[in-house]
């Protein structure tokens, strides 16, 4: 009869479940696999995987992880309708085409994000005029 050992095992299981729920409820973990990893390798609980191998435990941990992440996510910003404004075009003398009209930042609003970032960088650095100059 080793009731002391059984009590210790029961306490370890209960503590592992409590800690797994705490980790899942923190919002820092994507799903049960992240929680199991944290328990095993960050907390040193080598028996955690056996507990988490239970399909019901996995389902509960996944739900708790998702709920916690949803609570931490910032609420979506309310959409504010923007007025459509006509672009202001500067008058450029017809006789001079030395410098093409430089694009404005809002010209990039519908371009893919990578292109937008690259073009905004060039625009902000003041080298946009160099893009239009031809080698003579």
- Boundaries of every domain in the chain: 7-72
Across all residues in the chain, what is the average pLDDT? 75
Asked whether the predicted pLDDT for residue 58 surpasses 60, the reply is yes
* pTM of the full structure: 0.51
Higher pLDDT, 12 or 96: 12
Which residue, 59, 70, 57, is CA-closest to 25?
70
Q: Give pLDDT, residue 62.
A: 94
Model confidence at 11: pLDDT above 80: yes
Please report, to the nearest 10 degrees, the dihedral formed by the alpha carbons of residues 60, 62, 63, 67 taken in order: 140
Residue 106: φ, ψ to 5°: -70, -15
CA 30 to CA 27: how far, in whole Å?
8
């Amino acid at each position: 009869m080793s009731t002391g050992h059984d009590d210790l095992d029961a306490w370890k299981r209960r503590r592992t479940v409590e800690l797994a729920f705490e980790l899942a409820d923190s919002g820092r973990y994507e799903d049960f696999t992240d929680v199991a990893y944290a328990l095993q390798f960050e907390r040193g609980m080598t028996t955690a995987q056996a507990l988490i191998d239970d399909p019901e435990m996995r389902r509960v941990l996944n739900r708790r992880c998702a709920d916690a992440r949803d609570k931490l996510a910032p609420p979506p910003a309310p959409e504010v309708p923007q007025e459509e404004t006509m672009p202001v075009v500067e008058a450029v003398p017809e006789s001079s085409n030395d410098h093409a009209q430089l694009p404005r930042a809002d010209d990039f609003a519908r371009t893919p994000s990578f292109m937008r970032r690259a073009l905004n960088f060039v625009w902000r650095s003041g080298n946009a005029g160099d893009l239009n100059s031809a080698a003579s």
